[in-house]
Amino acid sequence: MNEDILLEVKNLRTYFYLDEGVVKAVDGASFSVQRGKTLAVVGESGCGKSITARSILQIVSRPGKIVDGEILFHRYTSDASGGSRVETFNITDHKPNSPEMRMFRGKDVAMIFQEPMASLSPVHTIGNQVMENFRHHFKTSKQEAREVTIEMLRKVGIAKPEERFDTYPHQLSGGMRQRAMIAMALICQPSLLIADEPTTALDVTTQAQILELMTQLQKELDMAIVVITHDLGVVAEIADDVAVMYLGEVVERAPVDELFHNPKHPYTQGLMSSIPKIEGQTRERLETIPGSVPHPYNRPTGCRFNPRCRARIENKLAICKHHEPQLLPVSNEHEVRCWLYHKPTGVDYQAISNAELLPDEAAASIAATSNVTK
């Protein structure tokens, strides 16, 4: 096992069983997080980013549940000789309300939720909410826990933390509430922090401050971060690696520089093209991705992006429409789920001419890519 890997998500499937049918919110997602690094999970609303994060902590609301896959957390523990060793904690082996999961949440992995006003209790003070998490994991006196909490509030940039300790959420600004959420998440110094849209509803200046704070605390605590966002500007600023999700699965995964300079999947290319450019012409229309995310009860067959894809392969085989691609490497540390780079197995290519196999545009695209699987 690679000791640099902190978290592994393997073929995760989280479904919601409703009266109308089954919603496959996460359907075969796989990725890993390295110690001390930042992984950004990006994609449109409804692609399964937040449910993936909640699955890691086993806090998926009913009627949702994990139906398949593994979530492995590799943590350091002390051995009998006084040294340390890597212990693998299989999250999916434990029930959501088990004692093991209650001790795991907050201490090993913590989460900053999307909307702090909805996540914080309106009838408890900020200090008591942050302190509660600390006292749950460490058996200390109330006075000692209060001192630790005040110091953490100071560390996340809350002015006069002794006074703010007894403040209620509605008495704080949006930026201060987000800082309080970060303090609550980091009070036990977890190895992994999951940040679900940490800059939502914040002004640009406050966004920059929150991102800088997260980066600073990551270095101080030697912590890994999974940041969930649709803001590619945030991704470019803080991420080391990127996983692009679409309709419940990862369609591309690569280091951040590689992804921005050489996106492979048509969906990723569409996301990149939709970013406003400083050098763009006045009144120039932004690029858009055709269509919208399919209805959860009417998922397309084959490649899930094929109804919206400008580069889909139209031929006698209708590969994109009928065959589902796998997430496979195209180069070192770069994986993509697309038939433009990988041939499907079990297809009789001998009976089909090259002209029939691919359209001119797709053939040109493949020829221009030196790392295509032959």
Mean pLDDT in residue range 90-110:
93
What does the pLDDT read at residue 372? 41
- Looking at per-residue confidence, does 287 or 99 come out higher? 99
For residue 163, pLDDT beyond 50: yes
For residue 173, pLDDT beyond 90: no
Per the omega criterion (within 30 degrees of 0), is the bond before 359 cis?
no
Homologous superfamily (CATH) of 1-108+190-261 is P-loop containing nucleotide triphosphate hydrolases (3.40.50.300)
What does the pLDDT read at residue 344? 66
What does the pLDDT read at residue 345? 61
What does the pLDDT read at residue 280? 63
For residue 35, pLDDT beyond 90: yes
Residue 171 has phi, psi (to 5 degrees) of: -90, 0
For residue 144, pLDDT beyond 90: yes
Domain boundaries, the chain: 1-108+190-261, 122-189, 262-367
Residue 278, C-beta contacts closer than 8 angstroms, at least 6 positions apart? none
The H or E element containing residue 146 is: helix 142-155
The span from the CA of 72 to the CA of 32, in Å, is: 9
Report the range of poorest mean pLDDT among 81-85, 159-163, 251-255: 81-85
- Looking at per-residue confidence, does 322 or 265 come out higher? 265
What does the pLDDT read at residue 350? 43
For residue 247, pLDDT beyond 90: yes
Check: CB of residue 268 under 8 Å from CB of residue 43. Answer: no
The H or E element containing residue 321 is: helix 319-322
* Token code pair at residue 286: 């932004």
For residue 41, pLDDT beyond 60: yes
For residue 277, pLDDT beyond 80: no
Residues in the chain: 374
Residue 222 has phi, psi (to 5 degrees) of: 50, 55
Mean pLDDT in residue range 194-201:
84
What does the pLDDT read at residue 351? 44
The span from the CA of 197 to the CA of 42, in Å, is: 10
Mean pLDDT in residue range 167-185:
89
For residue 228, pLDDT beyond 80: yes
What does the pLDDT read at residue 82? 67
For residue 167, pLDDT beyond 50: yes
* Token code pair at residue 129: 């909410």
Residue indicated by tokens 């996301």: 271
For residue 130, pLDDT beyond 50: yes
What does the pLDDT read at residue 175? 85
Query: Collapsing DSSP states into helix, strand and coil, what is residue 141?
Result: coil
For residue 4, pLDDT beyond 60: yes
The span from the CA of 206 to the CA of 95, in Å, is: 38
Mean pLDDT in residue range 166-174:
90
Percent of the chain with pLDDT strictly greater than 70: 89
Residue 212, C-beta contacts closer than 8 angstroms, at least 6 positions apart? none
pLDDT in tens, 330-369: 988 999 999 888 876 655 444 443 434 444 444 444 444 3
* Average pLDDT over all residues of the chain: 85
Strands 192-196, 224-229: pairing is parallel
pTM: 0.85
* Token code pair at residue 83: 């040294």
Whose CA is closest to 198, among 222, 219, 215?
Answer: 215
Mean pLDDT in residue range 220-248:
92
Mean pLDDT in residue range 251-273:
94
* Token code pair at residue 268: 């990723």
Residue 295, C-beta contacts closer than 8 angstroms, at least 6 positions apart? none
